[in-house]
A and B are shown apart, each in its own frame.
Chain A
Amino acid sequence: MRAAELDDLTEAGVEQVGQPVRRVDAVEKVTGRARYSADISLPGQLVGVIVRSERPHATIASIDTDAACAVEGVVAVMTGADATQYAWYEDDEPLLPRVGDTVRFVGDDVAVVVAETESIARRAAALVDVGYDDLRPLTDVEHVDDDDAPTLLGNEEIETEAEGRGDVETAFARADVVVEGTFRTPTAVHNAMEPHGAVADWRGDQVDVHTSTQGINDVREHLARRLGVDHSQVRVVCEYMGGGFGAKQVPWKPTMLAVIASKLTGAPVKVMNDRRSENLAAGKRNATTQRVRIGAMKNGSVVAIDAEIDTEVGAYSVPGEESAVQGPYLHLYQCDDVRVRTRRLRSNLGPAVAFRGPGYLESTFVLESLMDELAVELGIDPIDLRRRNHAGRNQQEDVAWSHPDGILRSYERVAEESGWANSFDREPSERIRRGRGFAAHDWLAASATPPGHATVEFNFDGSVHVGLSAQDLGTGTRTVLGQVVADAMGVDMAHIRLSLGDTSTGPPSPTSAGSTTVPTMAPAVRAAALAAVEDLLDAAAEHLEVDRNTLSFDGSSVQSTVADLDDQPLAELCADLSPRVVHGWGSKEATPDDVSPRAQGSAEAEVEVDLDTGAVRVTRIVVGPDCGRILNRRLADSQVLGGVTQGIGFALTERQLVDHHLGMVMNPDLNEYLLPTASDTCEIVHAALDIPDLAANEVGAKGIGELPLLPVPAAIANAVHDAIGIRFHDLPITRQRVLDALSARDRSTTNDEQESS
């Protein structure tokens, strides 16, 4: 059954859906029984450790592996010479460099030591002697236009991508006010608890790959292409995953290296990144510099938006980088004249990859900081200003949003939960200032990315099996899809099991990225479940020799309107029907073309700023994500807690520090890359909307992952401005930045006083 044939899921059809059902795998996780990729231990398994470049930009002069090979317990040392046929990142870039090839960032993969234990492999890796002929590096992309800037891979010609509509310059000419500024957002690193990596095991001409990934099918297809084998010869398994946030939506080198190391040694091989590798060579959020102007009329109506953006992509182009930094400027507000020019700049730093709302987080911070400034300048309430500029449609494609008023409902809910209309004490004590800030956001995905397919079959005891090849990133896919199936069939969730996280257990499902798994797979499993019920009734009619139209199924038995026919308990009926397998197939193959599916929202933040110490403490955050129908409030709240916390980190503590003289990342660890701790969080309020968006898909659920993150940094920065009157253009807002800004203001105030006296 195609999802397009489904009736809309209405309130009458939900019982489990919407309930705060506990994760079906909660006990496995908290008791440590859930198996993650690094937990896989196969007989005879070897461990591979990657030797990484110590130089930001160099030609490999020599690779001497003799000392490493001589270490007892070392099975192989793999270099570019052992992998000449394999490319990675870009089609003509080698998986591992040979002598004469170029390494392009500190941490670039050079060789792999495969040994009996990790300890031996690590010791031997330190003995691989790599000679480098240094080339001049470029790690600070502010210097990319210098006459003597080195030419990097992909920077040979720097293109400017232009998008937009109308005539920006003419529009600025008639604007009453213009707010503008240059903003910088930092490189943030995903730093998922579980690193990237894999265990690969060749058996005959096919390979099993246990890997931490957001897209088992994508990994399968990508590896098959690189290896030159059929998709069917690669099986990819990701039973549980310890966080991805976008960095695992594509396969990475450790996975491919495990695969070819297993082939080379004839044994299962595990290659997992350590924390340093995670920080250097496993993806990151692009750093951006954004020069932005917004023109508006006195009534607050935005008439022109112009953004020039440089975004740093690192040394290589990774599929799945997907920084959509132009999106918010094009879509968040009604505006006829918009221009966004973007340059994607290469550097001698690790490659960027999607990170929860890629590009959107960076430009939402900028756009919403300037909208706040506009509100201050015009004396218009920040929420009211945004209402006045509401865009109900995709102005680029001239098609309505799937839920045009969703963001307006978000404004209402956030204003209500935050007490926006109430008075607010901005000076609780002599040296403490308080402030509150508001920000809105758009998000482009959160809708289906077909194809998504699923099967549902009744076992011979009447229990239900759902087969699909999606994966559960830890967000609760297993649980919510079970809820959807339970409601479609009326069967108790306890009797439903899903097989997922294995390319061999189900038909194709999409990569879990952009919060698209639920919108794609919920309709697919619902269609499959309803098809299985249809098949059950067909089979029962045949078996009982009654008219199909007299039968119905309530989840536990098949009933008939025929007077003398007893109810048929499901278990007995399925046993009787054996060996016939009662089953259904469901598919989500299309997205609507008459509307533009969209998930938008907003946030309010409250902060305290300590004038003596520069400390910014977030005290409360309210978010109102329009994620459509909430399938499971408990899991939605979980996404809110995580998203808001990441937003606090991006606003206040997280950044990759680079020494541009050395061309090195200076904080590739969790000591100095400052993730927010529990103590850095605050009261987090989910102003839930829970409005089914049935124009977006048949179940009405959009994704939620990005939504509670996107508006948070801007809301915090706006709250800081409200507290101390200083607008920060650079994130994160560190002690250094706050204290330097306060000092600069004190100095200028003192000077002004001296001048006037």
Chain B
Amino acid sequence: MSLNPIAERYVRADNLDDVLRTPLDESSAYFAGGTDMVPLQRSGVTSVETLVDVKATGLDRSIERHGDRWRIGALTTLAELEDHDGLADDVGAVRAALRQVATRQIRNRATIGGNLLQRPRCSYFRDAQIDCWMKGGDGCPARDGLTEYLGVVPNDSPCIAVQPSDLASVLVMAGASVEISSASGTRHVDVADLLAGPTPDRRSLHSLKHGEIIRSVTIPTGNHSHSTYVKAMDRAVWQFALVGLAASVTLADDGTVSKASLVASGVGSVPHVLAASAAALVGKELDDETVRTCADLAVDGLRPSRDNGYKLSLLTGLVRRSLG
């Protein structure tokens, strides 16, 4: 039996400070859960020569509550996050989303840090033989091709891939932020800003710079009455969201909505914040009329292509379902 290495070199780093001090050259990448990196390397979509494994560097793998914040170490697996009762009681959408992410086997490997940094799951991107802009090529063959799984939120890049993470929408909904370290220090960025659509000079779904490492994710404790995540797939489990929706609602004593946040997955290159829909709930009771208005507003400004008009119906339906 011979193993097939996925890169030329593998370095197991044991000290985070050393890792951060050592410049990461362009042909190297950090490696933790590997649930995305392994298939990318195997299929030849990426050709990273050196993998720097950061699992033994002392990066945190923990879930702690500090006052009004949850601090989650970057190496925490999705399964550990899913299993945390305190977090589930506080921000229900986290467990609701994670239960529908991939499979338990994958959740046992995948880390929260890596989950936010996935490359596009667009099948044109994932085939090494296909020339696509996101991989450094010219145009987007998907635009004239099969768009059933692709984006409906207009953007300025040639790419119509969607942000694949379910958890990302939950984190944006909850106002989470990430702590990022590099040789030049540490910075804090909202998840909503970390996850950024591609631009002409940045062909990725996030704004993390080469050589930076996510150290932790901070989620404000649930200051809402209820939150959830609903997800539509073509089969019951183990598919990236056709459309997903993270929703949280806070009710005032009189039963009206005092605060709401709705963020959709599967429709755009970033978690898509449904600001108008959320605003339409505030000050209202969650009656049929309000829910209908909220659902109708969810699809404002979306521009489907040949195969993905259904995503608009689906988004409307998921808004109704999440508030029902």
Contact = CB atoms under 8 A, between A and B. Distances in A.
Nearest to B317: A612
Interface residues of A, number: 40
Interface stretch (A185-193, A215-223, A623-631, A654-662): A654-662
Contact of B318 (A122, A613, A653, A680): A613
Contact of B313 (A617, A659, A734, A743): A743
B251 interface: no
Interface stretch (B201-209, B221-229, B236-244): B236-244
A680 B314 contact: no
Given A664-B129, A666-B146, A740 B141 contact: no
Contacts of B127: 664, 666
Interface string A632-646: 000000000000000
User: B interface, how many residues as a size bin?
Assistant: 35 or more
B61 interface: no
A54 B233 CA distance: 31
B188 interface: no
Contact of A662 (B141, B148, B237): B141
A735 B310 contact: yes
A674 B234 contact: yes
Contacts of B324: 431
Nearest to A742: B313
Interface string A492-511: 00000000000000000000
A273 to B, nearest CB: 15
Interface string A284-295: 000000000000
Contacts of A84: none
B30 interface: no
A617 B310 CA distance: 18
Nearest to B129: A54
A677 interface: yes
A119 interface: yes
Contacts of A614: 232, 310, 313-314, 317
Contacts of A138: none
A739 B313 contact: yes
- Tell which of B5, B121, B123, B239 has the most Cβ of chain A within 10 Å: B123
A352 B151 CA distance: 33
A728 B1 CA distance: 48
Contact of B144 (A117, A119, A661): A661
A666 B307 contact: no
A725 to B, nearest CB: 17
A101 to B, nearest CB: 20
Given A652-B235, A653-B235, A119 B5 contact: yes
B21 interface: no
By CB atoms of chain B within 10 A, which of A612, A667, A680 has the most? A612
A680 B235 contact: yes
B314 A674 contact: no
A132 to B, nearest CB: 12
B309 interface: yes
A679 interface: yes
A451 interface: no
Contacts, number: 99
Contacts of B146: 657, 659, 666
Contacts of B234: 652-653, 674, 732, 734-735
A667 B130 CA distance: 13
Contact of A119 (B3, B235, B238): B3
A742 B307 CA distance: 15
Nearest to A681: B236
A613 B314 contact: yes
Contacts of B233: 735
A274 B281 CA distance: 51
A677 B129 contact: no
Nearest to A655: B234
Nearest to B232: A613
A702 B199 CA distance: 63
A739 B2 CA distance: 48
Contacts of B317: 610-614, 739
B310 A612 contact: no
B310 A739 contact: yes
A18 interface: no
Contacts of B5: 119
A659 B141 contact: yes
Interface string A111-150: 0000001110010001000000000000000000000000
A659 B4 contact: no
A615 interface: yes
Interface in B101-152: 121, 123-124, 126-127, 129-130, 141, 144-146, 148
Contacts of A613: 232, 314, 317-318, 321
Contacts of A611: 317
Contacts of B313: 614, 739-740, 742-743
A676 interface: yes
A159 interface: no
Contacts of A740: 309-310, 313
Given A652-B235, A740-B309, A662 B145 contact: yes
A680 B236 contact: yes
Nearest to A668: B127
A106 B321 CA distance: 42
Interface centre among A41, A610, A680 (most CB of B within 10 A): A680
A736 interface: yes
Given A664-B127, A677-B236, 11 more contacts: A126-B44, A611-B317, A612-B320, A659-B124, A659-B145, A661-B144, A662-B130, A666-B123, A677-B238, A680-B237, A743-B313
23 contacts: A106-B129, A118-B2, A118-B4, A119-B4, A119-B5, A122-B4, A126-B44, A431-B324, A612-B318, A613-B232, A613-B317, A613-B321, A614-B313, A659-B124, A661-B145, A664-B129, A664-B130, A666-B124, A666-B127, A672-B123, A677-B237, A735-B234, A739-B310
6 closest pairs, A vs B, by CB? A612-B317, A679-B236, A117-B2, A739-B310, A739-B313, A119-B4
